Structure 1
Amino acid sequence: MYSREYELVFIVRPDVTDEDIEKIKDRSGGVIKDRKGHLLNVDDWGKRRLAYEIQDYGKGHFVLFNYLGSTEIVDELERTLKLDDSVLRFLTVKLAERVEVKARVAEAEAAAKVVAEAVAEQARAKEADAGSGDGAGAAAGA
């Protein structure tokens, strides 16, 4: 089975709570799943400075979605985001016209696993550095 691959980036007002941002992400993911799409990746970039002010905001909370689906998913996602006052801007880009769904989903899952392992390794390294740093600092202070 083949489908189109899309990338959606949306910017949320910086004063919106993390809870509300999660609700927007869940609602958007629900639109994709309800219409038989496949959500490949959700990447929360956090608050970043905008290149120019949008509605008097100099910063915004950026979120990236990669998904497989039809044009009706794009239409419904954009309609949903337009109705949400906390969303400043959004942009959907078609990455590929014809993608093998099973292969692309498997590829995305493998990539997510690699990223999760790298994050866990960084956390272990940071923990080890913090543990050895405390002992060295205490010895130097004594």
Structure 2
Amino acid sequence: MRNYEITNIIREGAVEETKSAIKDILSKHTVTIQNEEDWGSKRLWHPIGQDEQGHFTLIKCQGSPSEISKIEHEFKLNVNILKSLVIRSHG
């Protein structure tokens, strides 16, 4: 098991349901959430499609590398996740 940090930008208006969907995806792939931070809504530096605002979240978690790649794929399929960044953390 490795440590990861997942930062998501969620479409405004679908924040709570998307946060719930993210947790469902993580639990489906046996990823353990250690910490969650909600950074709130911010204006985006560059619009993503039609969206100029986004809701930022950070999840610190543990999982296997093969499961993390599946999670990244599922995040791309969710239209309410504007951007996602998964990095391996050391701690």
Q: Same fold (TM over 0.5)?
A: yes
Q: Which residue of 1 is the match for residue 26 of structure 2? A: 29
Q: TM-score, normalised by structure 2?
A: 0.84
Structure with the largest fraction of strand? 2
Percent identical among aligned pairs is 25
- The ranges of structure 1 where at least 4 consecutive aligned residues each deviate by more than 3 angstroms after the TM superposition are none
**Aligned-partner Cα distance in 1 for 2:19–2:8:** 13
Structure with the largest fraction of helix? 1
**Aligned-partner Cα distance in 1 for 2:10–2:43:** 12
Q: Which residue of 2 is the match for residue 8 of structure 1? A: 6
Deviations 1:2-47 (A, max 9, x none): x3111000111112253x134223213313xx43x32111112221
Letter of the 2:5 partner, please give it. Answer: E
SS at match of 2:79: coil
Q: Which residue of 2 is the match for residue 89 of structure 1? A: 83
Task: Give unpaired runs (5+ residues) of structure 2.
Answer: none
* Larger of the two Rg values belongs to structure: 1
Q: Which residue of 2 is the match for residue 49 of structure 1? A: 43
How many residue pairs are counted as aligned between the two chains? 91
Deviations 1:65-116 (A, max 9, x none): 10112102211211111111111100001112xx6xxxxxxxxxxxxxxxxx
Query: CA distance change for structure 1 residues 63 and 5 in 2, over 3 Å: closer, same or farther?
Result: same
Q: Which residue of 2 is the match for residue 129 of structure 1? A: none
**Aligned-partner Cα distance in 1 for 2:60–2:9:** 15
Deviations 1:41-66 (A, max 9, x none): 11122211111111121110111110
Q: Which residue of 2 is the match for residue 71 of structure 1? A: 65
Task: Give unpaired runs (5+ residues) of structure 1.
Answer: 100-142
